[in-house]
Structure formats: structure tokens, C-alpha cells
Chain A
Amino acid sequence: MPINVLMPALSPTMEKGNLAKWLKKEGDRVKSGDVLAEIETDKATMEVEAVDEGTLAKILIAEGTADVAVNTPIAVIAADGEVASSDTAPKPVPTPAAPLISAAPSLSAEPALVAKPIGSAATVSAATSTEGQRIFSSPLARRVARDKGIDLSKIAGSGPHGRIILRDVEAASASVGVKLDAPAPAPSVKPTAPAGLSDDMVLKLFEPGSFEIVPHDGMRRTIARRLTESVQTVPHFFLTVDCEIGALMKLREEMNAAAPVKDGKPTYKISVNDFVIKALALALQRVPEANASWTDGGMLKHKHSDVGMAVAMPGGLITPIIRKAETKTLSVIAGEAKDYAARARNRKLKPDEYQGGTTAVSNLGMYGIKHFTAIINPPHATILAVGAGAERAVVKNGQIVVVNQMTVTLSCDHRVVDGALGAELLTAFRDLIEKPMGMLV
């Protein structure tokens, strides 16, 4: 039977997109995995891959067509020996909120949810029948999904003809510990990174029995993929500066001491990290050129400073975002940060709390780390790696004096932030940290 290739959904909310380009023409042989076409929305461009083998019999939507509704047939693939005509294509099937394809890989900052789009339309067509909404899935997959509160319409099936089976539900469930509001990575996702050592090559280097193999969960796979992607696609450079924090420590002490007490507890407790978040947010406002994101189509210049804070959790990390941090007081930031950290560790964050952002802070000071570099989490253009504050001997005016210092390293996406711009941002940051009263006005 000829297979209809449908307009894929790039995100759960996408309703239509533009058919940017056909990479195959009618009559071309296609095999599974071949890129058929490019689809774009206002946010991203994505490739549509063939899932089945055959001949691209008919292109139904011409290149350059804008606003094609999700699930509209865009082409027909015929198996060998089949003839497909356009009338074999069924009418578009409206499928509310059935994105089998996850969001744009290069534009979303959620650490656990981005999958390289794999579903092509054949998967979609198999999962929804012409009469309506039937999603092919195994009884066991349905029951486990129900128990875990996972919406089957948001999972791509890896069974025959795109049928959702247990392993798909388990993969979706492992990808985040919370109920999914966003599409889950399917197990058939192929890493975009060039392969390093193969598993076999690695295994051969160790004595059998001298190790155990722990399967990856979705978060681990996502971290691996996204950070590899970042290092390979984002040209990083690093700027390091020492900041004196004597004044900041004193101010922090005074502010915390001044916290009103309610029910025997102070109503806020501001950490050094909260100052760092606030300072970086204000620095980005002072150097707005650095508050940007790269897209091929143009630079996204952000109005607000949305600062991510890396939170370590068992088995991985996540970066919840303090939105509009430049507008928030230190006590508000402290409260949000505390709440995020607690919920992140319990995997209770909602996707909209960790997606997006314009920069991030990664702080290993509490481990005594003096200096390190961090990997940028796109679409951020920068990330600040914060080391431990400590008393250090410094030469000032020919005298050795003891100052309280903290070393920070800014990683910059060179496509967005050039060296001088990065230095400007970092200088603005240091000024705020060293004269912290500037953050209170």
C-alpha cells in the first residue's frame, strides 16, 4: 500500500509550517532514513526522514508552500511495484496535539526532552487511522502508559508500522521523571555526533566481569547528545577573571541578618550564587549585544535576562531558568532558586521552567573548585562557570595584601559574542560583584 508522508509537528503546539525544500524528487528511490524534505517554522528548520523504503511517487505539496497544516499529506511513497496516485492520499486528518516529532533541536534549552526528529510522516499515518484518532499501541504499552500518566499521542512507536510498544513507553518515562507535556525522545533516535569508540571497542578494553553495564536513562542520553552537539556546533572561547568579593560577603551578611523573622525562620537567605545570577542578569542589560541567541536566519536579541542555574541531581543535571532576573530583587531570586533546586532534585520541574533562557550559571564553588570551564547550553550564548571564593594573597600597589577572591570563567558562543564583547560583559559583571550595592538600586 502506498504510504502517505504527512506534515510533521515540530512541537506540541505547532499547527502549521512551511515546506521549505524538497530534497528528493518524484521518481527517486528512497530508503528509510533518507531526508525527504525540510520543514520550517518561525523557530526552526527540521528534516523529514523516510521511514519506509520505496519510490517517492508523488509530491503533493510544492516546495515553498507556507502554512501547511500538521498531518496534511505532503507526498506519497510507493513500495516497489506499486502505483500511487494523488487520490490514494486520504484527506488531511486533523489530529489535535499529536506531535510525534519533538521540538527543534537547536533552539530549545530543555535538558531532557529534545529528540532529533525521527518520526516521519509514515509513523504518523500508521498511528492515526483515517476514521479518527486510533493510536496503534500494545495493550501492555497502554496500561503502563496509563499507570505512569504518559500520553500515548506524544510518543513515537518503534514497533511494526509505528506501533507503540512497551520499550517506547519506558523510554518516554525514563526521559523525565515527571509527566510529559512535551514529546519524548524515541529510542530509535540516532545521535547526530560522529561516532567515537564503538561499544565493542570500549568493552574490549576491559576484562569481562570487571564492570557492570548500567543502561542509560533518557536524561543521560539527552545530556550526552546535547552537550556533544553543543561542543561540536558552537565555537566556544573562554574568558577568566578574578573578582574581589569582600564587599559582597559583607553586604550579604548584613542583608541576611536584616531578614525579618517569621515563624522562627528568616524570610530569606541570600547565597553568593543569587548575587551571581543577579549580577549576570544586570550585566547583560548593560551589554545588551551579548544577550542574544544564534539562529541561521538572524540574531535573536533578547529583551530580558533569563538566567539558567545548573542544578545537579542524581543521575544528571537540569537548568531551571530564573526569568527576567534583572527585574527581580535578590530575595525573590533566592526564593525562586531555592524552590527550583528542591523541585529539580525530585524531578518535579515543568518543561516551561527549564526550557529557553539566554545564559546560565554553573557554580562548583561549594566543592572548592577554583576554576573551570562550562559548556554552553544552546540557545544560550554564554555560560558563567563560578569557582570558590577564598582568601588569596594579591599584590596591590607593590604590597602583598589578603583579599577575598572568586574566579569566574565565561564561555562564549563566538557566533554571537566576540572576544571584546565577552570581555565587556565580564567586566560589567565584575563591577557589579565587586560593588554589590549597584545591584540594590
Chain B
Amino acid sequence: MAESYDVIVIGAGPGGYVAAIRAAQLGLRTAVVESKHLGGICLNWGCIPTKALLRSAEVYHNMSHASAYGLTAGSIGFDIAAVVKRSRGVASQLSTGVGFLLKKNKVDVIWGRGTLKGGGKLAVVAAENPPKGALGAGEYQAKHIIVATGARPRVLPGLEPDKKLVWTYFEAMVPETMPKSLLVVGSGAIGIEFASFYRTMGAEVTVVEVLPQVLPVEDHEIAAHALKRFEKQGIKVLTETKVTKLDKSANSVTATLQLKDGKTEQMTVDRVISAVGVVGNIEDLGLEALGVKIERGIISTDGLGRTNVAGVYAIGDVAGPPMLAHKAEHEGVICVEAIAGKHVHPMNKAKIPGCTYCNPQVASVGLTEKKAKEAGYDVKVGRFPFIANGKAIALGEPEGLVKTIFDKKTGQLLGAHMIGAEVTELIQGFVIAMNLETTEEDLIHSVFPHPTLSEMMHESVMDADGRAIHI
């Protein structure tokens, strides 16, 4: 008799393990199937270890600029192996933590690769390195099976990573030596964060973006500000440019680029990072045999994670963009609560914040100015620069911008876009404001603590009303 559950989640990434814990909290007998590492890409090869690397880069940068703060620091340097080791340590600490949380919530961990067999059956084949206490290969049964298998780097023809000279984020996260020169293909969050890290650590970095704007999903004004800063740091940015060919030598790569003006150019670099997006892991799960509807690599779901096949659900990257850990987590919770019969509303994807941890940081939520206008809103826009904020100047971070977009008619906060120090920690204020449907008036009436960077949020909102004080 197969082991029987209320819910089995396939994949223990941020979507999967959160869904599993929530299911267990709701009294459902739950298991999670994982074959590589608890915490998924996010904890092990994505969000978290990159933040550790970027933190090393930031401290290194600050030490290099110690004199700007009246400090002296001699013989500043770094050991890349130690930097990587710290990053891996952070990842492993958190992955262990996920194992602990699952255990605490009595979620069974099944170590292996699961395939749906229909009728709530799941066949699991063993995977390597099972953690202590995990169940193994076999057939399992569940009333509800949630596919949360995440995504992997997209591979473009001619840009196939070889893991040696042409990297994906996996290799880029654990360099054995620092490349002297680097070509980053793609200027989304992943590409730009690595560009920022390697540039700060001293590499010559070129970023190639096929679209006309770096950080293509961000507000144009923020992206323009970012571009200026990247170029000032010495990052070469080529927009509307394609990589048409990569010729590999023993320890370098010659890339052929097709530039904006149609001319081609060759460039030889030590390493290439391909950061052209991610694609969902939807293969070998038995979805096709069950007739689960998949469109353009994305499992079709309703707002509550349900696929067209009863008892089969999908959340996170496999269920479509935005492919972000926090979106996956939230989707997992909604899916499980709906299964448990709770009244839930589908997630409003327009209110999911996005953060990029390059230098300077970029954070945003809601509509860009362009998108808001396209949507037919009569907008009023507020802006406030870091240079006019006391705390920013004291921090030595006088560059950046807080931009807010309101519907002129109703005062609804449509979007907030920020660039500069610590903005990834600030954006949540606007996310809450948006979710609680505050208007500009309520934000203006809120007291913001002094001296903080958050005062810029207040000022930006007031500026939208033409009444900013400090500018």
C-alpha cells in the first residue's frame, strides 16, 4: 500500500517548502519531494548566495573608499575562494534551516524525482545524497499534488553554456579565479547583479542587452539613472545588441556582437555569463500523459493554482512570470489555503515588488510611468532625489531617486520605483500602501521617522502633489 498524503508538493524551493509548511499548519498530511537541495535555487544558487557575494563586494568597495569616510585602510584585497566559501556557507546554513522547519511542521521529505501517474499517484525514483530521515524511492499517493519544480537558465542557440568558459549563474556563483574580463548577456536582475559583483571585484565587464533599455522591466527613468551609474563604474553597456556567435579558445572566448547600428564587432573576454532568463522545469513529471495544459512552457492555472486536471496544481516559476521567489511563496500559500477550503483571493500580480541588488540597488512595485499612461490613467508623478536627503548624505550615498506614480483622479498609488542605497528594504512601505489601497493623502498624513532614507518616500509622494518640502 502506497504511503498516502493529503498534499504532496514536488520541489522544495521557496514556493514548494512554504506551501508544504502552510499545508501542514492547516492540518493536512503533507510531504515534499526534492532531489537536490532543500530551499531550491533561491536558497542554494540564487537569491541568497548572490546576496552574500554582493555583500562581500560592498564591504570591499567601502574599504577601498575608506578615505571618503576619514578612515585609513591598508593593503585592501580579497581571496575569491574565501568570498565564495562564505557565500556557500550562508546557503548551506539556510538550507539546513529549511530541513529543520519541515521537520518541525511534520512535513515528510521524499528524496528523489517524482512523476505523476494519474489518480493521485506519484512514482518517485531515488536521487543522490538523501538527507537523514528522508523517505526514498517508491510509489506515493496524495489527494492533491502541487508541482513546484521551479526553473533553470534559458539556453539560447549559439550561447550554450559549457560551464567552463560560458557560465550560467551556477558557475558564476563559484568562480575559482577572478576573470579579468567578462561579458554578461542579458541585463535583467541576474545579469546585472553579476555584472555589479564582478565589476566591483575588479573585472572589466561588458553587458549586452537586446532590448533598448537596461533592466528592461523597470521604469525608464530609473533604468536611465542606473545606466549612468553603471557606466560611471566602468561597466560597458551595449543595448539593442545581440551576441551572434561565441568562438572559444583555451581560456578565452571571442564574441561576435551585432550592434544597434547593424555593424558587427568582436570582443575577446575571459568568461561569458549567459543570463537570458529562466525556463520552467516541466519535463519528466508525467504532465503530458495526464493531459495537463501547458502553454509556451508554462503550466496553465487559475488564480488558485489549479490546473485543468483535478488534483494537480502548479505554483511558482512553472506557473508563469514573474519568476520570483516571493511570488512563488505567495502562490503556494494561496493554492494550499484554497485546497483546505479557506476563502482566498487570487494574487494580484500587479502588486508584486521586484528588487535588483546591483550597485545602486533598484526596487519597484506596480506600474511604470509608461505602463500607467498606456493603461489610460491620467497620472501625477512625484520624484525625490537622494541628494536632498540628510541620511543619504550622511551615509555617503547621495545618488538615487524615489519616483511615485499616482492616478490623478483617485489618488491611487499606481507604482513606486526607486534606485539607490537600501531601496530594496524601503519598497515594502509602498507595497503595503498599495495593498491597503491608501491614497496619496493618507501617505502624506503618515509620519516618517527622521533621519531616514524613508523620508524620501514621503517627499516623493508630496512632490506628486507639488508640495515636497526639501526640494
Contacts and interface: CB of A to CB of B under 8 A. Distances in A.
State whether these chains interact. Answer: yes
A141 interface: yes
Interface in B423-438: 436-438
Contacts of A158: 345
B427 to A, nearest CB: 19
A407 B104 CA distance: 76
Contacts of B345: 158
> Chain A interface residue count: which class?
10 to 19
A139 B438 CA distance: 5
Interface string A200-237: 10001000100000000000000000000000000000
B439 A140 contact: yes
A21 interface: no
A139 B437 contact: yes
A165 B439 CA distance: 12
Q: Is the interface of A mostly helix, strand, loop or mixed?
A: helix
A95 B437 CA distance: 26
Q: Is the interface of B mostly helix, strand, loop or mixed?
A: loop
A204 B308 contact: yes
A139 B434 CA distance: 11
A143 B343 contact: no
A410 to B, nearest CB: 44
Contacts of A200: 302, 308
Nearest to A187: B345
B410 A138 contact: no
B437 A166 contact: yes
B231 interface: no
A140 B308 contact: no
Contact of A138 (B308, B409, B437, B441): B437
Contacts of B390: none
Interface residues of B, number: 17
Given A143-B410, A200-B302, A204-B308, A31 B341 contact: yes
B341 A165 contact: no
A138 B295 contact: no
B411 interface: yes
Contacts of B308: 200, 204
A140 B411 CA distance: 7
Nearest to B300: A200
B164 to A, nearest CB: 41
B341 A140 contact: no
A140 B406 CA distance: 12
Contact of B437 (A32, A140, A204): A140
B351 to A, nearest CB: 12
A144 B407 CA distance: 12
A172 B437 CA distance: 17
B302 A140 contact: no
A147 B409 CA distance: 9
20 contacts: A138-B436, A138-B437, A139-B411, A139-B436, A139-B437, A139-B438, A139-B439, A140-B437, A140-B438, A140-B439, A143-B410, A143-B411, A143-B439, A166-B412, A166-B437, A200-B302, A200-B308, A204-B293, A204-B308, A208-B295
Interface of B: 293, 295, 302, 308, 341, 343, 345, 409-412, 436-439, 441-442
- Shortest 3 CB-CB distances between A and B: which pairs? A138-B437, A140-B437, A139-B439
